[in-house]
Amino acid sequence: MSTLGAITQLLEIVCALLAAPAFLGWVNQCRAWLQNKRAPSVLQPYYGLRKLFHKDVVLAENASSLFRLAPYIVFGTMVAAAAIIPSMGTGLPLSMAADGIALVGLLATARVFLSLAAMDVGTAFGTLGARREMMVGFLAEPALLMVLFVAAMISKTTSLPLIAEGLTTRALGLYPSLAFTAVAFTMVLLAENARIPVDNPATHLELTMIHEAMLLEYSGRHLAMMEWAAALKLFNYACIGFALFIPWGTSTEASGPQGLLLAVPVLFAKLAVAGGGLALIETLSAKLRVFRAPEFLATAFLLAVLGLLVHLLLGD
Amino acid sequence: MSPLSFDLQLLNACAALLLLLSFSMLSQRRIVNLVNLLALQGALLCAATLLVAWRTGQGHLYLSAALTLALKVIGLPLLLHRLIRRLNVYWDAEPVINTSGTMLIGLLVVVFSFGLAQPISALASTATRSTLGIAIAVILLSFLTMITRRKAMSQVVAFLSMENGLFFGAMSATYGMPMVVELGVALDVLVAMLVLGVFFFQIREQFDSLDLHHLESLKEGE
Amino acid sequence: MEVLLLLGSPLLGALTLWAFGARSWAPGLNVLFSAATFAAACALTARVIASGPMVLAREQFLVDPFNVFLVTLTAFVGLTTSIFSRPYMRVEAEHGRVSPGRLRLYHSMYQLFTATMLIALTTNNLGLLWVAMEAATLSTVLLVTLYRTPASLEAGWKYFILCGVGIAQALFGTMLLYFAAERVLGAEGVTALLWTHLDAVKGQLEPTVLSLAFVFLLVGYGTKVGLAPLHNWLPDAHAEGPTPISAVLSGLLLNVAIYAVVRCKVLVEGSLRSALPSQMMMGFGLLSVVLAAFFLWRQRDIKRLFAYSSIEHMGIITFAFGMGGPVANFAALLHMTVHSLTKSAIFFAVGHAAQKAGSQLIENIRGLVTISPTIGWGLMLGSLAILGMPPFGVFASEFLILTTAMKQQPWATPLLLLALGVAFAAIFGKVQPMVFGETPMRRLPHPPALLPVFVHLALVLMLGLYVPPYLAGWYRDAARLIGGP
């Protein structure tokens, strides 16, 4: 294990932890601008987190230990996921431990614990949110896996750093299969992170919400952990997207410390653009009825499979 | 792996988009949009033909592309739009099988057609051979669209899209058919549309609707 | 020259009748153009007798023993049908079922339909063959819907869509054939769809591609032949269109479609050297025979009854071509001829009968002999002929096919016999009361003109007893050309 690798790894985790709320704040700010509203500060999520950490925790009487543990588990899995995604450099020591499929597994673990915790207290909304989350999840997960498969087939490996490296070294060209999967991935990202058109992160209108419904019983530092984890999840997804589709600018073993120095601003530039794009999509689309969400995700799955088939046939 | 030349990449992109369009047609229930998708498909076909013509320098392909442009991008969609306005059919009824089911069958169809194309592609000497599977898929998906629809108009659009798929197939396997044949086929398609126009008016005059469930009284064996 | 005349006459007829088709003398003009076409066909036949097969017009047209007799047959039945349609359509117009405008459409499309069939028969270019077949569908769709009744619209729609989809499969098959041929005949593609060139190199064509192509071609053109399970359009189109159209659809179009299938089969078999095309044709043929025979029982409409009978006979012909070999091919060609003549004669008689009874339902048509002996006996004799009673020609061809089947494909013989028996019982049981039963209808004041019926039946009778030597010579040549195991 090289020193550079260790530094990259450390930098990545720290960066993810610190930048995730800012990324969320940036998306919200862009969205406010696009909708001609007064934008909150980029730092707004940090203020929210600080406030929540200072508050006391109020627990339901019948809450089990699972309910108390869940925020830490969810947060932990998100940090672990951030550690194996090659957002800045590909020479990550930890990423040897887990490939793309394991990554999907990590994200699924978080989902399971979140849903279990939501049902733990036994309120109607928690259960409703958990059910909807599972409905979204069981369609989004295969789509995400398909997206990973296409990338894996193109670069003949399931390891994310190798996929990213493989793509940077290939000749520039048109890859219809990657284009299809990129669209599919974006759709999965929207669904998994409770964004419009599947869910609305800004509303607490009971009948339509998914993610917020699961967090209704949380308060204080637990809620803070959960919200931080949600921000991390969005950040992670964005980084997976970069690794799969636009990996240029990440540092490799060969590019040395200068590469790493360059990779940090490149990552932030990508995040800035992606955040803007995400805000644009959210502004332009209307929220779907909950029962249309499966159709939305089925389309994502279809696109991913089409990408796979097109790749198999055209052999690009 | 040697990268493909840029025009081939463009061609592959066209093929992939054609496949995507077929799936959009499969799920689209507004007939106006269906016709627009058909026009778009024609445009892609035209672009693909131009690309191949430019690549191989075959004069008759330019003609074929012009024919596609005139007939399938401009002529027929305009005709169909006029028909839709005059006949006032904008929506298709609920499809015979629900959308997700149709999509799943569609995916299987694509896999099947790729399998079908494999032995032929392996023999072809054209640079475009890999798109043959997509052409077959487009044909079969149009067929699927046809059997899952109830309105006469959607079936006709699917029929035309099948014709597009056939042309695309001819192009990817052999750089197009001889000119005489292509002209003949184009003429047939045009006449078919005119006949259909007449036909639609007859149907509506008779039933006040273009829904095909009126046309289900003749049963086998009676 | 003769070919030009042959194709030019109906095309010119279509144009002229488009202009004048509504006039009172239009039916006469229709007959005149059909007669001209028949004369050209005779001239062409004479030419072929004199100088053998030929390729014309930069190899785009081909006349050989296989198609020349079909050309003559097509022109002949076209002529007699136009003679029959003159009084028939006049009565229809008097009953107010067709307006003058529709008569114009009818006459013009009739000529166009003849032209497309003749092009399909004489072309040497498999692509043009496809184009002509599609054009034949298109020109008859509006004829099927001529009466604009709901049922006829439905029939027309089914006809259009099913044959359209089917023929699209055939185009794909043609494309695959072109693809295989291009690899052998060179990329410039001018000759790669010409049948004569393909025939010359059929041994070198890629077998995998050709077997796939044949599947598509058989399904595609087979839809037009009316092979089960793709036969759904056929009974409807026959029953709902005007009777002259039923006669030419059944008597001619189906033949042309079979002709297309057989032309393709020759190429594919030459390339494959396997039994796949034969087996497929035998399978589809047998299925059609059996299915049609059992559906015959359930028919209540006289025209649908004979439409199903057409499916049955197309099945027999396809089966015979599938068996292959000189005898079976000979029998199949003979059967094509006699079926075409007999079936159109039956439709002529049925047309008049239905017109007199004012209904196509079998239960409403009774005692034809008492109303009009000519119609009654015409229908009876026609039915007996189509059921394969000696001494009519159908007996001869079916007998040949059955004996060959016993020798080459013994497993199929019982099925064929069973189907023929069932068909016999069904048709005879339905036709007998129509002809001889009690009738409430009054005797007609004037006898109908049924000359075409009896001319056709006389020809069929003659073919049953004696096949003229030059015709037999053609059949043999054609049978050798088609080949088979």
Which of B11, B103, B108, B111 is the best substitution to test chain A (most A C-beta atoms within 10 A)?
B103
Q: List pLDDT tens digits, range C25-68.
A: 888 889 999 999 999 999 988 888 788 788 877 788 888 888 88
Interchain contact B208–C (C-beta under 8 A): no
Picking from A55, A56, A57, A53, the residue whose alpha carbon sits closest to that of residue A21 is A53
The pLDDT tens digits for C167-191 are 888 988 988 888 888 878 775 556 7
**Per residue in A238-257, pLDDT tens?**
999 998 888 887 777 777 77
Q: To the nearest whole angstrom, how far is the Cα of B12 from the nearest Cα of chain A?
A: 7
Is it the case that residue B5 has pLDDT exceeding 80?
no
In sequence order, the 6+-apart residues with CB closer than 8 A to the CB of A273 are: none
Decide if B17 and A298 are in contact by the 8 Å CB cutoff: no
Range of the domain at B196: 6-206
Q: Do chains A and B touch (3 or more CB pairs under 8 A)?
A: yes
Render pLDDT for C303-314 as a digit per residue (tens, 0 to 9).
999 999 999 999
Segment 153-172 of chain C within 8 Å of chain B by CB: 153-158, 160-161, 164-165, 168, 171-172
Instruction: Tell me the ipTM for this assembly.
Output: 0.85
Output the pLDDT for position C133.
Answer: 92
Tens-place pLDDT, residues C326-345:
899 999 999 999 999 999 99
Neighbours of B19 (CB within 10 A): 28
Rounded Cα–Cα distance for residues C339 and C343 (Å): 6
Give the neighbours of chain A: at least 3 Cβ pairs within 8 Å.
B
**C109 touches B: beta carbon within 8 Å:** no
B to C CB pairs, distance under 8 Å = 142
Residues contacting C27, CB < 8 A, separation 6+: C82, C85, C86, C89, C90, C107
> How many domains, chain B?
1
Q: Indicate the residue of C131, C158, C299 with minimum beta-carbon distance to B188.
A: C131
d(CA C105, CA C123): 26
CA distance B91 to C98: 34
Q: Is residue B136 part of a domain?
A: yes
The reply to whether residue C161 touches residue B120, judged by beta carbons under 8 angstroms, is no
Kindly report, residue by residue over B82-100, the tens digit of the pLDDT. Answer: 888 877 777 776 677 777 7
CB C101 within 8 A of CB C87: no
DSSP letters spanning A211-249:
HHHHHTT--HHHHHHHHHHHHHHHHHHHHHHHHHH--TT
Q: What residues does each domain of chain C span? A: 282-485
Please report whether residue B212 resides in a domain.
no
Instruction: Give domain status of residue B217, yes or no.
Output: no
Q: Helices in C297-367 by DSSP H: which ranges? A: 302-323, 326-357
Q: A173, B9: Cβ pair inside 8 Å?
A: yes
Mean pLDDT over each residue of chain C, to the nearest integer: 87
Which among A176, A312, A316 is the nearest to B114, CB-wise? A312
**Residue C22 in contact with partner chain B when CB distance is under 8 A:** no
Which residue would you say has higher pLDDT here, B102 or C75?
A: C75
What's the predicted TM-score (pTM) here? 0.83
- Predicted confidence at residue A51, as pLDDT, reads 92
Of B13, B17, B133, the CB nearest to A313: B133
Q: Which residues of C touch B119 (CB under 8 A)?
A: 208-209, 212
- pLDDT score recorded for residue C386: 92
| Residue spans per domain, chain A | 3-314
**What pLDDT, on the 0 to 100 scale, is given for residue C389?**
86
Does the N-terminal peptide bond of residue C229 adopt cis geometry, omega within 30 degrees of 0? yes
Which candidate in B125, B145, B181 is best for mutational testing of the C interface (most C CBs within 10 A)?
Answer: B181
Kindly list the distances between the CA atom of residue C151 and the CA atoms of A221, B178, C144, C160, C362, in Å, as whole numbers in the listed order: 75, 40, 10, 14, 18
Q: What is the DSSP letter of B91?
A: B
Percent of chain C with pLDDT over 70: 97
Q: What is the rounded average pLDDT of the residues B151-158?
A: 83
Residue of A nearest to B104 (CA): A302
Q: From the list A171, A298, A310, which residue is nearest B16 (CB)?
A: A310
Which residue in the set B173, B180, B215 is minimally distant from C175, CB to CB?
A: B173
Which of B4, B107, B131 lies at the smallest CB-CB distance from A173? B4
Residue B220 located in a structural domain: no
CB atoms within 10 A of CB C433: 16
Average pLDDT (C142-171) is 86
